[in-house]
Structure 1
C-alpha cells in the first residue's frame, strides 16, 4: 500500500466487510470438473524474515505453498465498475485483492485462484487438502517474504459466504486463500461453494 494512502490495511478490511458484491470473488472458477490424481512438488527453502505486521509491506509477487505444490505468480485484482472483484485471468497464477492489505500488513490479505478449467487442474486445485499448521509463503516486490501458518479450512455455499469473517478487521496480519469447490453445477457451469483457507503471520 503506498505511503499516505487514506485507508490502512485494517481500515480497508473494515470497509471490505461491508462490500457485499465481493461475495462474487470467485464466481467464475474453472468451468470443468477436475480430473483426479495430481502430484506434488518439492518443498521450498525457508525464506528471509518478513516485515512486522504494523509496518508498510510491499506488494506480493509470488505465492508458495510447499504442502500442495503451489509456486505461482501473484497479480493484483481490482474491483470493476460493477463493484465485483474478478477472478484471476490465468489458471496458473493467483490474484491478490489490491484494495485490501498487503500480505504482512495488519488485516486480512486475500489471494484468490482457480480450482480447475477445461484443460485440467488449476493453481488452487489442491487447496482443500491444506491442514492447520502448514506454511504459506508470500514473496514480495522488495525481496522479502511473509511467512504464514494455516489455522483452518472452511467450505461455504457461495450464497452464504462469510464476508464479515473473511474481510473483517483482525488484530494482526492474516491471509485468506480462496477458490471454488463443492458440487459442480453442470447447467450453470459453476461450482456452488467456496473453499477458504485462513492463515496467520508467523514471521
Structure 2
C-alpha cells in the first residue's frame, strides 16, 4: 500500500486511521448519508445527501437545477464525510467523555455520468441501497425524470477511515473513583413500514417485510 498523503492523516489520534479498502468500504456500505462540502465563490457549503458505493467509486444524485450540483459537477475539489456512531463513551470525568465511531473522509472531484444507461444503473444501486431489492418493484424511471437528474461519481483513491472502539480512556488517577464508567451502545434500526393513505389496502411487498 502506498504511503497516504499528508492531508489524509489525522492530526489527533493518528493510530486510529486506516487507509485500506477492507476498513473503508464496509463503512461506506453501511452509511446511508454523506456530507459533501466545498467552497463556492469564497463561501463554504455543505450538503447532506444519500450515496452508494460501487467498486472504487461512490455515486450521488441531485437536481439539474441545483446550484450546488451545477458547481461541483465542474470538478472543483470537494471533501466528503461519512460517520457512523456506535456508542457513547461515558468516562469518570467530562474531559474523557468520547464516542465510539467509524468515519471516512474522501477528497475528490466529481465525474459527471453522461451515458443514460450508466445513470440508470447508478440510480438502481442507490435505490437498492436505501431500500434493498426495491428497484424492480417500482415503475420505470422516465426520460423526463432522467433529464432532470444529475448523477456524479467520486473516486475513492484519496480516502481514509478513522475508528474508535473500546472503553473510556480515563486518567490513571481517576480509575479507582466510585464513578460509573463504560459505554452506552447506539443502534440505527429499520422499523416496521407504515403505509400512506393510498396504500392502506395494498399488500406489503416481500422486500419490505423486515
Same fold (TM over 0.5): no
- Normalization by structure 1: what TM-score? 0.36
Scaled by the length of structure 2, the TM-score of the pair is 0.35
Structure 1 or 2: more helix by fraction: 2
Q: Which one has a bigger Cα radius of gyration?
A: 2
